[in-house]
Homo-oligomer: A and B are copies of this chain.
Amino acid sequence: MSPHSPLNTALTTDRGFTLGDGLFETILWADGALHLLDLHLQRLEKGCEALSLPAPDPQACLDAAHKAIKDAGLTSTRAAVRLNWSAGPGGRGLDRPASPTPWISATAAPAPRPVTPARLVTASVRRNEGSPASRLKTLSYLDAVLARHEAMAAGADEALMLNNRDEVCCAAAANLLWLHRGVLHTPRRSCGVLDGTIRRVLVDSDIRVDKVVARLPDLRNIQGLWLSNALIGLRPVSNLDGWALPLPELPGDVTALVRAVCPD
C-alpha cells in the first residue's frame, strides 16, 4: 500500500490505526462453533467501559465473525476469529470526536493447536501495571509485540512478562498457570494481567486457583507451568530462561474442563 493509495485516507484517519484506540478479541472457531463467545463479548463490553467507548452490538459481532470465517473459507477448519472494535474516525491529536463512531471488523485464520511444549524467556519489556490497558486486549499491543520479538530472537517460543515491580504477569499472548504443592496458581490481575478466557473458566469453576503475587524465583520450585488462552487451551512450558521445567499431567478435572471449551 502506498501513501497515494485510495485506502490511505480511511486508514490514516482511523483512531485504531493512529493511536491504537480500540479493543480486540480472539475467539476459537472449532467444530463449527464459536467457543466462549459470552466471555469474549462480556470482556469486550467491560473494555469499552474502561475506554469510555460505546460497546458493540453483540449481533453485529457475531455477524462479522461468521462472515470472516466464511470469507476465509474456514467453516470446517479450526480457526481463530479476530474481532476489532476501533474507536473510529478522528481528527488530529489525542481527543476523540464528541460522538465517537466505533466500528467492528473481523478476520479469520487457521489456528491449529500447538503440539510441542513452549520454551519461555523473560523479556526486558514490562507490563504496565499502572494502566487499565494492561488488563485489556487493546489495539495498542506493541509491548507484547516487543516482548515476543525479544523471546523469538533468543530462540524461545514465547516471552514471560514481568511488571515494573518485578512481579510475574503473563506471557506476551497467554496467561500463566502453575502447579505448586498440588494447587493451581496464577498471577493476580492487579499485577497487569489480562482477564483471559481460559483463566476465567478455571477461576470461576470449582477447581482451586490461587491468585498470587509472584516473582521469578518463586517459579523455581513449581511442579509445572502452562500457558493458557482461548486458542491453545493449556500448553505446557518445558523451559524458562534455560531452566528445564517438569512436564507433569494436569489434574483430570482441569484438563477435561479446558478441553470442553477449547476443543481440537
Q: Does A244 contact B (CB under 8 A)?
A: no
Interface residues on A, range: 35 or more
Q: How far is the CB of A71 from chain B (nearest CB, A)?
A: 9
Whether B146 lies near A51 (C-beta < 8 A) is yes
Q: Does A82 contact B (CB under 8 A)?
A: yes
Q: How far is the CB of A9 from chain B (nearest CB, A)?
A: 8
Q: Does A1 contact B (CB under 8 A)?
A: yes
* Residues in B neighbouring A148, C-beta threshold 8 A: 94-95
Q: How far is the CB of A169 from chain B (nearest CB, A)?
A: 11
With A67-B4, A125-B131, A165-B164 as contacts: A107 and B12 at CB distance below 8 Å: yes
Can you name 25 A-B residue pairings with CB atoms under 8 Å?
A: A1-B88, A1-B103, A3-B67, A11-B11, A17-B17, A18-B82, A18-B139, A19-B144, A19-B145, A20-B20, A20-B138, A20-B140, A51-B146, A80-B92, A92-B107, A92-B109, A93-B173, A95-B148, A95-B149, A126-B128, A127-B128, A127-B130, A128-B164, A131-B143, A164-B164
